[in-house]
């Protein structure tokens, strides 16, 4: 079987790993970097990706696309240089670059990959990720959840059973997963998260603060100049990273961002302490607690039951994040030093690739569905068909019937959520099963089957058991609403 590489297609960076004698190894890109910025730029010289594209963001932000992951599975289109591009096409360009670089590095054509996605990615986002792989000439042999990949990277050499909690704070999303590792089986017990919380929000907050400072000093809101936005965010991100290691960061902001205007050549200088930065971003930090408590309660566990906490994602390097993890779980449980937090997901994806390629005969990966799924029944009541945190792949069915005599069709309204009232849950789709032969109320038997495949994609079918008539849809499980401030 040919090699299956692992790709962490991140909001900020993309990382590739392969297995070398059973151990995950990060593949450097053509520029020698271990992280490839997930950025695509349209330039006079053609389309460029990675660090070259990132450099372009400063000079030509309008034709540079960053954080495309946030648009995956949406109808968003990028209009650039006369062309119209889908998010998956842009992601495909990133994948093509990293897979091409990996091929050059390994001296062989790379055509198979395991790609990771956030645990809460819905159907469309997972499908879009798969399509991006196909556009890059890759067979996407499996899509796996990022936190699961992280636990896989850490759990491989453990013999005793561990209950592991993964905090994954990347550029754009926060995921919490609780996994049980042991005897070659990795079982996801619960997942939760906030799809609208990531390291970018810390940058944004600080950039806003810097903009306020500039306005105080100059009387001009720098955000009125569009080109100032990525520059201020980059400066903010730089300061944020500095403050992960140092207690102070000297910030130097050039004004007149394009060399125009009254302030060209002038700079605003400031000194920011870690304490000030943490005070400024404290509301963001607080949002880590809610999903964590939710995941613990879903798994029926207390913080004391957690043996290990794995910190994943570049933004977990922030000391305040680590301190919060220590406060919640205790110092001795935090494990972050052995594998780089930016690289652990790709490492786990490579291990999953190895499992699928048959390199580890004694390992199995068990994943779960994050939210309950079911259909609407009479009176607006939600009937669960698959409970949240059920292992996938899974197929479950239930028999339903008509509510009135001679009812010729039933509507199957597919929902996701934990509430008993349909109106409190999220609607995923609706379809009709028609041509039900006349019969008294309650007599027809309609079998509704929910099937979630190994990639977390849900298909729903309804069959009239009397006639064999069948209707089906593929629906998109949605993530829960962003949680808890």
Q: From the CA atom positions of the chain, what is the Rg in Å?
A: 24
Q: Which stretch binds ligand AMP (CB under 6 A): 8-16, 373-381, 403-411, 423-431?
A: 8-16
Which phi and psi (to 5°) does residue 314 adopt?
A: -55, -30
Q: Which stretch binds ligand AMP (CB under 6 A): 119-127, 154-162, 239-247, 423-431?
A: 239-247
Pairing of strands 308-312, 162-169: parallel
Least gap, CB of 148 to ligand AMP (angstroms) = 15
Least gap, CB of 245 to ligand AMP (angstroms) = 7
Q: Sign (positive/negative) of CA torsion 124, 190, 422, 173? A: negative
- Confirm if 291 and 483 have CB atoms less than 8 A apart: yes
Nearer to ligand AMP, 89 or 342 (CB): 342
**Binding flag, residue 86, ligand AMP (CB under 6 A):** no
**Binding flag, residue 13, ligand AMP (CB under 6 A):** yes
Q: Sign (positive/negative) of CA torsion 121, 122, 123, 129? A: negative
Choose which of 3, 126, 317, 384 interacts with ligand AMP (CB under 6 A): 317
Least gap, CB of 316 to ligand AMP (angstroms) = 8
**Binding flag, residue 314, ligand AMP (CB under 6 A):** yes
Nearer to ligand AMP, 148 or 402 (CB): 148
Least gap, CB of 286 to ligand AMP (angstroms) = 17
Q: Which stretch binds ligand AMP (CB under 6 A): 47-55, 91-99, 224-232, 233-241?
A: 233-241
Burial string for 441-461 (b: 16+ CB within 10 Å, else e) reads: eeebebebbbbbeebbbbebb
CA distance 230 to 199: 15
- Confirm if 95 and 103 have CB atoms less than 8 A apart: no
Least gap, CB of 321 to ligand AMP (angstroms) = 8
CA distance 380 to 382: 7
CA distance 54 to 63: 11
Choose which of 313, 354, 374, 456 interacts with ligand AMP (CB under 6 A): 313
Number of residues that bind ligand AMP (CB under 6 A): 18
CA distances in angstroms from 470 to 53, 401, 465, listed in the order given: 49, 14, 9
**Binding flag, residue 274, ligand AMP (CB under 6 A):** no
Residue 293: both structure tokens together: 């408590």
63, 124, 168, 175: the active-site residue: 168
194 as an active site residue: the answer is no
- CA atoms within a 13 Å half-sphere pointing along the CA-CB vector of 366: 17
- Confirm if 322 and 311 have CB atoms less than 8 A apart: yes
**Binding flag, residue 244, ligand AMP (CB under 6 A):** yes
Least gap, CB of 136 to ligand AMP (angstroms) = 19
Which phi and psi (to 5°) does residue 448 adopt?
A: -105, 125
- Confirm if 73 and 476 have CB atoms less than 8 A apart: yes
Q: Which residues contact 248 (CB under 8 A, 6 or more apart)?
A: 271, 272, 273, 274
| Mask for 114-153, x = binds ligand AMP (CB under 6 A) | ----------------------------------------
Q: Which stretch binds ligand AMP (CB under 6 A): 4-12, 300-308, 398-406, 422-430?
A: 4-12
Least gap, CB of 347 to ligand AMP (angstroms) = 13
Nearer to ligand AMP, 315 or 460 (CB): 315
8, 127, 180, 343: the active-site residue: 8
Least gap, CB of 13 to ligand AMP (angstroms) = 4
**Binding flag, residue 200, ligand AMP (CB under 6 A):** yes
Can you name the residues that pair with 47 across neighbouring β-strands?
Answer: 42
Q: Is 381 helix (H, G, I), strand (E, B) or coil?
A: strand
Q: Sign (positive/negative) of CA torsion 121, 196, 389, 24? A: positive
63, 124, 146, 367: the active-site residue: 146
Least gap, CB of 359 to ligand AMP (angstroms) = 26
69 as an active site residue: the answer is yes
Nearer to ligand AMP, 315 or 392 (CB): 315
168 as an active site residue: the answer is yes
Choose which of 342, 367, 376, 464 interacts with ligand AMP (CB under 6 A): 342
**Binding flag, residue 63, ligand AMP (CB under 6 A):** no
Q: Which stretch binds ligand AMP (CB under 6 A): 104-112, 236-244, 355-363, 378-386?
A: 236-244
Which phi and psi (to 5°) does residue 243 adopt?
A: -70, -10
**Binding flag, residue 10, ligand AMP (CB under 6 A):** yes
**Binding flag, residue 310, ligand AMP (CB under 6 A):** no
Nearer to ligand AMP, 50 or 314 (CB): 314
- Euclidean distance between the first and the last CA atom of the chain, given in angstroms as a whole number: 48
**Binding flag, residue 98, ligand AMP (CB under 6 A):** no
DSSP string, 219-275: SS-GGGSTTHHHHHHHHHHHHHHHHHH-SEEEEEEESSTTS-STTTT-EEEEEEEHH
The residues annotated with a catalytic role in the active site are 8, 69, 146, 168
Q: Which residues bind ligand AMP (CB under 6 A)?
A: 10-13, 170-171, 199-200, 237, 240-241, 244, 313-315, 317-318, 342
């Amino acid at each position: 079987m040919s090699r299956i590489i692992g790709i962490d297609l991140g909001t900020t960076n993309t990382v590739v790993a392969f297995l070398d004698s059973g151990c995950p190894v990060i593949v450097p890109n053509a520029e020698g970097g271990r992280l490839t910025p997930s950025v695509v730029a349209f330039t006079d010289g053609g389309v460029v990706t990675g660090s070259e594209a990132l450099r372009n963001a400063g000079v030509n932000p309008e034709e540079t696309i960053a954080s495309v992951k946030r648009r995956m599975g949406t109808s968003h289109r990028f209009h650039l240089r006369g062309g119209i591009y889908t998010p998956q096409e842009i992601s495909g360009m990133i994948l093509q670059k990293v897979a091409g670089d990996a091929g050059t590095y390994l001296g062989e054509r790379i055509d198979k990959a395991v790609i990771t996605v956030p645990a809460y990615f819905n159907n469309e986002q997972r499908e879009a990720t798969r399509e991006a792989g196909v556009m890059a000439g890759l067979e996407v042999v499996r899509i796996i959840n990022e936190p699961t990949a992280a636990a896989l990277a850490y759990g491989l050499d453990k013999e005793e059973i561990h209950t592991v909690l993964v905090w994954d704070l990347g550029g754009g999303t926060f995921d919490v997963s609780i996994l049980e590792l042991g005897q070659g089986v990795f079982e996801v017990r619960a997942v939760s998260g906030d799809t609208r919380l990531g390291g970018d929000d810390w940058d944004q907050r600080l950039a806003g603060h810097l903009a306020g400072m500039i306005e105080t000093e100059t009387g001009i809101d720098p955000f009125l100049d569009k080109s100032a936005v990525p520059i201020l965010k980059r400066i903010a991100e730089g300061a944020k990273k500095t403050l992960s290691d140092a207690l102070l960061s000297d910030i130097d902001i050039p004004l007149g961002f394009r060399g125009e205007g009254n302030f060209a050549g002038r700079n605003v200088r400031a000194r920011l302490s870690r304490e000030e930065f943490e005070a400024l971003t404290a509301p963001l930090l607080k949002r880590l607690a809610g999903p964590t408590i939710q995941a613990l309660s879903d798994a029926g566990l207390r913080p004391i039951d957690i043996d290990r906490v794995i910190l994943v994602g570049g933004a977990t390097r922030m000391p305040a994040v680590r301190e919060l993890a220590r406060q919640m779980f205790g110092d001795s449980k935090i494990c972050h030093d052995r594998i780089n937090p930016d690289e652990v997901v790709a490492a786990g994806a490579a291990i999953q690739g190895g499992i699928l390629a048959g390199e580890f005969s004694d390992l199995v990966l068990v994943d779960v569905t994050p939210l309950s799924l079911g259909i609407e029944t009479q009176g607006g009541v939600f009937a669960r068909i698959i409970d949240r945190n059920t292992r996938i792949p899974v197929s479950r069915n239930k028999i339903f019937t008509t509510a009135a005599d001679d009812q010729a069709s039933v509507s199957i309204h597919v929902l996701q959520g934990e509430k008993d009232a349909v109106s409190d849950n999220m609607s995923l789709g609706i379809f009709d099963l028609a041509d039900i032969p006349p019969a008294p109320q309650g007599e027809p038997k309609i079998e509704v089957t929910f099937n979630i495949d190994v990639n977390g994609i849900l298909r729903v079918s309804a069959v009239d058991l009397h006639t064999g008539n069948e209707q089906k849809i593929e629906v998109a499980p949605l993530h829960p609403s962003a949680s808890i401030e």
